[in-house]
Amino acid sequence: MEINSNMIFGVSNEHCCMCHAVKMLFYGLGVSWTVYELDKDPKGKDVERALVRMVGRTPPVPAVFIGGKFVGTIDQVMSLHLAGKLVPLLREAGVLWLV
């Protein structure tokens, strides 16, 4: 899947509680986004290894991309949200209209 500039994309693991928290945040904001579940794809381990190299931590999920750019994992996403910077970022990417 190509990550383009007009979308929000997440990499997750179905049984990860931190992934669930990020999913609920975006769903609560009314954001329609694409989530790739590592544990649902036979190539998920390869993607996970690539994410570990990119993110620099294990586990690398949840990994969030907004507007085609890597935003971060739960720490960065929640920090942006608490600072009031997440909603403007989502609006700028064209994935949020009403909040």
CATH code of residue 24: 3.40.30.10
- Domain annotation covers residue 34: yes
* pLDDT given at position 57: 87
Q: Is residue 2 part of a domain?
A: no
Predicted TM-score (pTM) of the model is 0.88
In a domain, 99, yes or no: no
Q: How many domains does the chain have?
A: 1
Residue 57 lies in a domain: yes
pLDDT digits (tens, 9 = 90+) for 15-55: 999 999 999 999 999 998 899 999 999 999 999 999 999 88
Give residue-wise pLDDT tens across range 19-30. Answer: 999 999 999 999
Residue 92 phi, psi dihedral angles, 5° rounding: -60, -35
The first and second tokens of residue 28, run together, are: 């609560």
**Is the pLDDT confidence value at 82 over 70?**
yes
For residue 22, give the nearest of 70, 74, 89 by alpha carbon: 74
Q: Residue 42 is part of which domain span?
A: 8-93
